[in-house]
Structure 1
Amino acid sequence: MTPLAEALLALATGEMARGARVIFVSGPQGVGKSTAMAALTEAIPGSVVLGLDDFYLTRGERLALARDVHPLFGTRGPPGTHDVALLMETIALFKASGADERIAVPAFDKAADERRPEAEWPVLAGAPRVIFVEGWMMGVAADLSAPAGPPLNAVEAEDVDGAWRTYQEPQLAGPYQRLWNMADAFLYIDAPGFDVVKDWRMQQEETTRGVAPGGLAPERQAWVSRFILHYQRLTERLLAGARRPGQSVAVDRFRQPQLRN
């Protein structure tokens, strides 16, 4: 088990002892959430993990958002690109399920940029002991004044009239806050800063594509560098503490954890 998984297990076990059944786990891209969550499900019998990334809107729905609101919504990930209602429904199904029930869980094909057909969704046992929901922005607070501020980076500079940011904040204040309300506890993985997230995401891309460190083609490196900018504002907001109360584990740039409350 990785040090990060061990740290999260310690936090999760403490929350479970207090009776929590739905635990939201938040951490930036590339920090190692997926590996850590897989270890948690092995260490905690009867647990299930739902990933925010599996609950994106369909490609058609997101293309409509890009057409009707702002072209930046062509990139999945920011608030407004998820089917929050479907995730809430799935959590509710697990909470109400019996041990003999089986529940199909949505799955998203990132290579095809589309939700998988329902026939391909994984089927999990009901009545879980604990439901983990992991994602990069779980628990983040809304800031309705944010669209009035200056752009943080080159991607935000493309949002000339503020439509992209203006759409996101009410989404956070409405549907996403109602989703956060379903959690019994929040666990946060805190990076030392946004600058390391780019490095982690680049390493993640190398691993996904099976290339050696530093071996990504220049055009793919440029894609990752631009892609991560869509997440900067909310990642920094989370790190600044604008989020639901919870426990946290701070990691260094090598992803080595230090527990703290």
Structure 2
Amino acid sequence: MSSKFADEKVQICTSFLQEHLSNHQYHKQCPFVVGLNGMQGVGKTTLVASLAESLNRNGIITVVFSIDDFYLTHEEQIKLAKKNPDNALFQHRGQPGTHDVKLAKSVLVSLINSQQTKVPVYDKALFSGQGERLPEQYWTVVNNQGSKPAQVVILEGWSVGFRPLSPKQVEAKWNAPSRTLYKHKLEHLLLLNEKLRLYEDIWNCFDVFIQIDSTQAEFVYTWRQEQEDCLRISKGDPQAGMTAEQVQKFVDGFYPGYELYTESLRQGWNLHRPGTQLQIIVGLDRTVKQVNRL
């Protein structure tokens, strides 16, 4: 096994999935669906790619896609922003409410039914970084005719698995000391919370859930800055990427989601199904500090 697959998080996740997969395959014929959550910069994209490769090497056909694949089209983003002109949460892609939930659910259901499925491709670089969904001819085709269908389907994203709160819970968090929530009107946070309810049907398709957590949520600012620093080095251009001020503003745009929903996710993705959530807590250097079953 190469050093790439020796990564501790991959080994922990593979062991967890294989344990549940064997029981799933004994009782069900449909693919095993995994939700994976991790804040920006924690390394979830690299993790799921390595995890899928590890499972495929073990003969388990695995497909991975991201909630980011289902961002609204550029035109739809503009309409959403204009409809909510004073709500900063909907002026850019990222938060719940900025995805085509109906499309995401249809793709997931198609994969669960082992049908040939086209998964959207989203290019974040288009429209000066505002992003755009590519035309359908560029989408990824999964479960081609004549090939064996996927046995494991992994949906990853920074907000995957977030559960909506009650209005009173949202208000309590808004009134408590926070890093970013005070910058937003309560009614704007309540609208975000209502948008999140639309995602519940997708989350309820998961058989198990993996959360890549951190000892401090604020690490996301450092990790994002590291990404920009690496971009400058790779391009050989000291002006490439976002400045520290721009990184702060960018992450601030996502941070309300962490402040609102991470705490409940740490209580358990599905309280009615104990043992189906794997929580891996990492430190600032992204090494594993603790592993829990919830």
Classify the TM-score, shorter chain: 0.7 to 0.9
Spell out the pairing of 1:1-261 with structure 2 (5 A cutoff).
1=5, 2-19=7-24, 21-45=32-56, 46-69=61-84, 70-97=87-114, 101=116, 103-112=117-126, 113-125=131-143, 127-143=149-165, 144-145=167-168, 146-147=170-171, 149-150=174-175, 152-153=178-179, 156-160=181-185, 162-172=186-196, 174-211=197-234, 220-236=243-259, 237-239=261-263, 241=266, 244-245=269-270, 246-257=277-288, 258-261=290-293
Query: Quick one: higher RCO (CA 8 Å, sep 6+), 1 or 2?
Result: 1
Point out 4+ residue stretches in structure 1 off by more than 6 angstroms. Answer: none
Letter in 2 for 1:29: Q
Unaligned runs of 5+ in 1: none
Which of the two has higher C-alpha Rg?
A: 2
TM-score calculated relative to the size of structure 2: 0.78
Letter in 2 for 1:229: D
Q: Is the 8 A contact 1:104 1:123 kept in 2?
A: yes
Provide the alpha-carbon RMSD of the alignment: 2.5
- How many residues align structurally? 254
State whether residues 11 and 187 of structure 1, in contact with CA within 8 Å, keep that contact through their aligned partners in structure 2.
no
| Alpha-carbon shift at residue 209 of structure 1 (Å) | 4.8
Q: Which sits farther off after the overlay, 26-35 or 221-230?
A: 221-230
The answer for the alignment partner of 2:28 in structure 1 is: none
Identity %: 29
**Distance in 2 (alpha carbons) for counterparts of 1:37 and 1:76:** 22
Deviations 1:121-148 (A, max 9, x none): 1222252111000011221221223156
1:177 to 1:243, Cα distance in 2 relative to 1, 3 A: farther
Q: Shift in Å at residue 74 of structure 1?
A: 1.8
Tell whether the 8 Å contact from 1:29 to 1:200 is kept in structure 2 after alignment.
yes
- Partner SS for 1:166: helix
Looking at structure 1, the residues matched to 226 and 285 of structure 2 have their Cα atoms a distance apart, in angstroms, of 12
* Alpha-carbon offset, residue 40 of structure 1: 1.3
* Higher mean C-alpha deviation, range 181-190 or range 241-250: 241-250
Q: Secondary structure at the match of 2:243?
A: helix
Check 1:23–1:198 CA distance in 2 against 1; reply closer, same or farther (3 A cut): same
Distance 1:132 1:202, change over 3 A: same
